């Protein structure tokens, strides 16, 4: 049995899909569906139970993790980079992760934990996922700091050597439709083109980056869950791992890929960046993939053109775009 927290969310539902492809149907989805639309990610997926977050925590407190749990894939968290309630982040992202990690390690259950490239802040200290760099990192928002708090605790407690903490870079792809403002720019670009025939990109406020030349490590969700599946089967591969493509591509390249997938000529408007986010805007993210490769992972990561083409043609352009209805 596999437990996926945040299993109705973006990466979580994609991971359930990946487990199903491996013939695994005994999956607990831990998530609070509430009144949102993340439930739309679930039809077509096979799982054995849906458990709310507080009910799951109660079960942990009373009986620990189920004895037949093969692995826990902890993806549930608040991922908003504009949320300002630090207490909420501390409870939801750090404390929950720590409780779950202690429960999994206690029973020797394989554990993957979602972290984020947000821990690297502006990237002034690079994007190396070595444990030795933890004290050097300065996240730009509370979301990133909550993820750094967990890695730091896991390192100091000796727990980090018994789990894999995955620092996701700019993940995009099917099943992010419920995320609203937190959806990827790839998804937003598709909507902008369909409604107005144009894409809006932020102007640059640094002399060393032209408008639209700010760069991101874009990584396709299908490649992400392939890497996660590989890590699940290698309990000796522990510590922190960047999960990105290992290449930095610009917003202009993203726009070109989207227009190409739609068979259209590029039309881009460069707009002012909101003042509120200028101080925490990342101009470059680039995953150092050395540790994952040294661990033995040989899987490929699509570039932005290949990923966008699959996203558009296999999902976004279809009446039912969810990952569980397409390959």
Distance between CA atoms of residues 280 and 123, nearest Å: 11
- Collect contacts of 34-38 with beta carbons under 8 A, ≥24 apart: 36/178, 37/177, 37/178, 38/8, 38/9, 38/13, 38/178
Annotated catalytic, 179? yes
- Reading the block at residue 47, the tokens are 């799982």
Where do runs of H (alpha helix) occur along 133-220? Answer: 142-157, 185-196
User: For residue 251, with 0-12 CB atoms within 10 Å meaning exposed, 13-18 middle and 19 or more buried, which class applies?
Assistant: buried
Distance between CA atoms of residues 296 and 145, nearest Å: 29
- Reading the block at residue 140, the tokens are 């730009």
> Do residues 30 and 12 make contact, with C-beta atoms less than 8 angstroms apart?
no
Catalytic residue among 2, 145, 162, 179: 179
Q: State residue 45 phi and psi, 5-degree precision.
A: -85, 155
Annotated catalytic, 88? no
Catalytic residue among 2, 120, 143, 322: 143
> Do residues 250 and 217 make contact, with C-beta atoms less than 8 angstroms apart?
no
Catalytic residues: 143, 179
């Amino acid at each position: 049995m596999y437990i996926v927290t945040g299993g109705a969310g973006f990466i979580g539902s994609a991971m359930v899909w990946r487990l199903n492809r491996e013939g695994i149907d005994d999956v607990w989805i831990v998530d609070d569906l509430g009144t949102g639309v993340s439930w739309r990610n679930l039809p077509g997926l096979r799982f054995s139970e849906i458990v709310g977050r507080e009910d799951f925590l109660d079960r942990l407190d009373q009986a620990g993790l189920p004895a037949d749990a093969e692995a826990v894939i902890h993806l549930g968290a608040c991922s908003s980079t504009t949320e300002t309630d630090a207490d909420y982040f501390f409870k939801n992202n750090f404390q929950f992760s720590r409780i779950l990690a202690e429960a999994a390690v206690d029973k020797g259950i394989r554990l993957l934990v979602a972290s984020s490239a947000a821990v690297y802040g502006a990237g002034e200290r690079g994007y190396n996922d070595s444990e030795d760099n933890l004290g050097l990192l300065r996240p730009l928002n509370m979301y990133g700091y909550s993820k750094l708090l967990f890695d730091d605790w896991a390192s100091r407690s000796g727990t980090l050597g018994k789990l894999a903490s995955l620092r996701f870079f700019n993940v995009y792809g099917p099943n992010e439709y419920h995320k609203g403002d937190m959806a990827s720019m790839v998804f937003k670009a598709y909507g902008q083109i369909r409604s107005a025939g144009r894409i809006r990109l932020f102007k640059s406020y640094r002399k060393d980056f032209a408008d639209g030349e700010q760069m991101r490590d874009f990584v396709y969700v299908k490649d992400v869950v392939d890497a996660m599946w590989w890590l699940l089967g290698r309990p000796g591969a522990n510590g922190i791992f960047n999960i990105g493509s290992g290449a930095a591509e610009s917003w202009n390249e993203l726009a070109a890929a989207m227009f190409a997938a739609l068979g259209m000529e590029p039309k881009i408007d460069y707009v002012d960046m909101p003042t509120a986010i200028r101080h925490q805007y990342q101009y470059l993210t680039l995953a150092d993939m050395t540790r994952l490769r040294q661990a033995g992972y040989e899987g490929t990561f699509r570039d932005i053109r290949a990923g966008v083409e699959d996203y558009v043609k296999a999902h976004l352009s279809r009446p039912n775009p969810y990952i569980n209805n397409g390959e």
